[in-house]
Structure 1
Amino acid sequence: MTQDGTRERLLRAAGEIISRKGFRAATVREICARAKANVASVKYHFGNKRSLYEEVLQAAFEESIRDHPPDPGPDHPPEERLRAFIRSFIFRFHGEGRGSWFGRLMTREMFEPTEALDELVRRAIRPMSDLLQEMVREVGGPDLDDRAVLFCGLSVAAQCQHFFRSREVVRRIHPSLRFDRQGLEELADHILAFSLSAVANYRRADRAGGRP
């Protein structure tokens, strides 16, 4: 970090603004105003707005993983590992602070992709996807083939994403649901239980010839 903290302030301001407005709508002038920095400072520290954005994505991802580790390690039971992944996913999307920017930035990339998406997939999304597939395979055991592992993993991720993308609708339809820490822990427990049951039924249907 520079002596006066300008670089860090630019990263924080860019994360706050871009996660709320999107990359294209956010302007360098607005980011610099929030950071209390000269407009030329973006060029000096990052080269351009796109490079600033890429560093914001990387910083947000790294901080989100530090705050909410997705894997306690291979020496833990498969179900415990899967819950840790689900919990990390949920808290990284619903949490507060810089780590929570990643979920919002990633969601924006899905709907308004930029040139940063390929690098985001390579450095962050694909490794998380591979880890989830590994966990599902451990839970499912040898009876679960590669295609089933793929779809079950995608279904776990889709459940986690749904409660973030539809959060405001869910709140209005089911106001008793909470998105504070306790509510998110409850949600992680539910998604785990639902997913474990689904994988178990998938195995039984496969053995019985009920799945193509």
Structure 2
Amino acid sequence: MMQIRTKKSEVTRERILSVAAEHFAAHGYHQARVADICRKAEANQAAVSYHFGGKYELYEESLRYALELANAKYPLPVDQSIQAEERLKLFLTAVCQRIFDESEGSLFPRMMVKEMADPTEALETILRDLVANERDTVIGIVREILGPKATEEDIILSHLSIVALFQFFNFSRSIRQLLQRKMRRLPPNVENVIDHTIGFALAGIHHKQAEIAARA
């Protein structure tokens, strides 16, 4: 009997987390309502307090949950034996696929848009604990491609420029959806977007390589 109750409790927790991630992605933390989450998850509000502690703790856990889903569906490159430019291509492909995903793969990028527009205390946790691996991955790739003569400024500016390429598509999500709905525009071809983004990123990196070589 105890096993049955434990399993039921775990199922309830997972269901609340799944609904909460989608709800926070759609409404942001401040506009989200625990009552709405519980109603859709078919759970009482006491279950949120029992499993998570409160709305804020549920939000933080939802961010972690959404990132785990994104990492599972579109993993970042970790094999250091792969040539650096190829790892950059794999990185950009994974991140762009997350942004254009129409299901759980896009939950974390969508939550990030809401968080950046109306920050909470979780922003520090996100930057320190959740996206640190993503940031360190691309910085490491850029550092390797640019070589030992690159300055820290070269590396950081290149990193920021690469991030900006794909984050535009994330932050312009509502505009894209509006154009598709009101002006009957077709959704972008994701493969074309990925190829274009990779091409731009590599062109920028190669330009920076030439600039560094000219300084030497």
TM-score normalised to structure 1 length: 0.88
The offset of 1:145, in angstroms, is 2.0
**Identity percentage over the alignment?**
34
Q: String of CA shifts for 1:84-143, please: whole Å, max 9, x gaps.
A: 111111112221333311001111111211111111111122221111111111222234
Query: Retained in 1: the 8 A contact 2:21–2:65?
Result: no
CA offset at residue 175 of structure 1? 7.9
Q: Distance in 2 between matches of 1:192 and 1:94?
A: 15
RMSD: 2.2
1:151 correspondence with 2:151: no
Paired position in structure 1 for 2:35: 29
User: Which 5+ residue runs of structure 1 have no aligned equivalent?
Assistant: none
Q: Distance in 1 between matches of 2:111 and 2:209?
A: 36
Cα distance in 2, alignment partners of residues 74 and 55 from structure 1:
30
Number of equivalences: 206
The equivalent position to 1:202 in structure 2, one of 187, 208, 213, is: 208
Aligned to 1:111: 117
2:8 aligned partner: 3
2:192 maps to 186
Task: Tell me the amino acid that sits aligned with residue 51 of structure 2.
Answer: H
Give 1:91-130 correspondences, 5 Å limit: 91-130=97-136
Aligned-residue offset at 1:170? 5.3
Where has structure 1 moved over 6 Å in runs of 4 or more?
Answer: 173-177
Structure with a larger share of its residues in helix: 2
Residues 124/146 of structure 1: CA separation in 2 closer, same or farther (3 Å cut): same
Q: Contact 1:143–1:203 (CA<8 Å) still a contact in 2?
A: no
Q: Is the 8 A contact 1:93 1:100 kept in 2?
A: yes
Deviation of 1:28 after TM superposition, in Å, equals: 1.0
Partners in 2 of 1:200 and 1:80 — Cα distance?
A: 14
Q: 99, 121, 140: which one pairs with 1:134? A: 140
- 1:59 is matched with 65
Name the amino acid aligned to 1:39: Q
- How much has 1:203 moved relative to structure 2? 2.3
